[in-house]
Amino acid sequence: MPGPSKGALAGLKVIDLTRVLGGPYCTMVLSDHGAEVIKIEPPQGDEVRDWGPPFHDHEEGGRDASYFIGVNRNKKSLALDLARPEAREVLLRLLDGADVVIENFKPGTMEKWGLGYATLSERFPRLIHCRVSGFGAEGPLGGFPGYDAIVQAMVGLMSINGTETSGPTRLATPVVDIGTGLFSAIAILMAVVERQGSGKGQYIDMTLHDCGMALLHPHAANFFLSGKRPAATGNPHPNLAPYDKYRTRTCEIFIGTGNDATFRRMCGLLGQPALADDARFRTNADRMANRKELSEIVQAIVAEEDGHALCSRLLANGLPAGPVLFIDEVAEAPHTKAREMVAEIGWYKGLNTPIKFGRTPGGARAAPPRFGADGEGVLAAHGFSAEEIEALKRTDVLVTERRREARPAPQPKAAE
């Protein structure tokens, strides 16, 4: 858990207009390390508050889904109806003195509201404006909506995941959204560093499409060099052998060898030193050419081993190996506890930051905010008088209770 440090990003002010996952993941990374993140939600709230079960039922009423809880800690929440000019004026006052605004509206929305970067940069020349979208504003797909699984399919990630029999398979974790959040955090911090010299902010154009493609290593590199279309290989590595999952007496394990010396040492530890001198397996290229035969031999060797004990023995001798654990096992693992990778704050429990600073530690500091819980406090801190705040509440510019969108009326069937 974080110590008394305010974090490496203390003093950085971020106005967060994002919803769902990519943008909120980015701002959680920043908030973990001390940035003040003011999350501005639409009147209906961030829709992932409803992406459950499971839900956490708050003592004071209402509930939030785990999907929201998992990526929105350390933030302040207020809700504005930005479709109204009065709310956009409130936003402009909040942007005064802000370092970053990040949004994931459909490209063109901010411009339609008079809040595009060209306009904002004139008023706030040091402001960094990060836009997260599916495909950007330009190009054949410009302006189209993007969702993690769809982009996984469109950029080739599904094509290299799965097995020969399963066909292209979605990665179970939303790697495109999370990757976009991480790339966006890196980009924002780069812009902050550049601003120290130039004194100017800038516009950052982040897309799920581009970030998804950036995750294709080594498959794209293999294709560019060989000209061959990469295919799904399941658990085995496309460039190394043995690098696969094996069944043992007690559990499944994963063993990986990165070079010939490691393979030779593994053979010795498995009691089969002669295997390293077999002409079929002497080099990685040999092993790749005879991957199936090698995998069958290794499987036969480890089948009756205690998988956990075997992995401990291999690791102790510098060989990459580990048991295939389920998430509940990982959460309770001794090393997880030693690395403080699970945070608990009152009712909140979640994964902690993997970024470990020696002098300015970060991590979970506050539970995710209730909808609009910080609206009045945030506005007061930005110079709004009590009278102004009451007026904004009275006119529903500042939203204090989530609005549920009315269902559209049934439409008559078209003529046959």
- Going by C-alpha positions, the residue among 386, 387, 343, 349 that lies closest to residue 361 is 343
- Say if residues 40 and 91 touch (Cβ distance below 8 Å): yes
The helix-helix angle for 307-316 and 260-269 (nearest 10°) equals 130
Residue type, position 34, single letter: G
C-alpha span between 268 and 403 (Å, rounded): 66
Q: Residue 275 in 3-state DSSP? A: helix
- Say if residues 251 and 324 touch (Cβ distance below 8 Å): yes
C-alpha span between 175 and 80 (Å, rounded): 30
Active site residue 177: yes
- Going by C-alpha positions, the residue among 155, 295, 128 that lies closest to residue 211 is 155
User: In 10 A of CB 19, how many CB atoms?
Assistant: 22
C-alpha span between 75 and 374 (Å, rounded): 9
Q: Residue 386 in 3-state DSSP? A: helix
The structure tokens listed for 336 are 């997880």
Residue type, position 59, single letter: E
- Say if residues 71 and 361 touch (Cβ distance below 8 Å): no
C-alpha span between 43 and 371 (Å, rounded): 9
C-alpha span between 310 and 144 (Å, rounded): 50
- List the catalytic residue out of 177, 205, 277, 306: 177
Under DSSP, the state recorded for 118 is: H
- Going by C-alpha positions, the residue among 38, 16, 12 that lies closest to residue 196 is 12
The structure tokens listed for 285 are 């290229």
C-alpha span between 323 and 342 (Å, rounded): 20
Q: Give yes or no for a cis peptide into 218 (omega within 30° of 0).
A: yes
Catalytic residue positions, numbered: 177
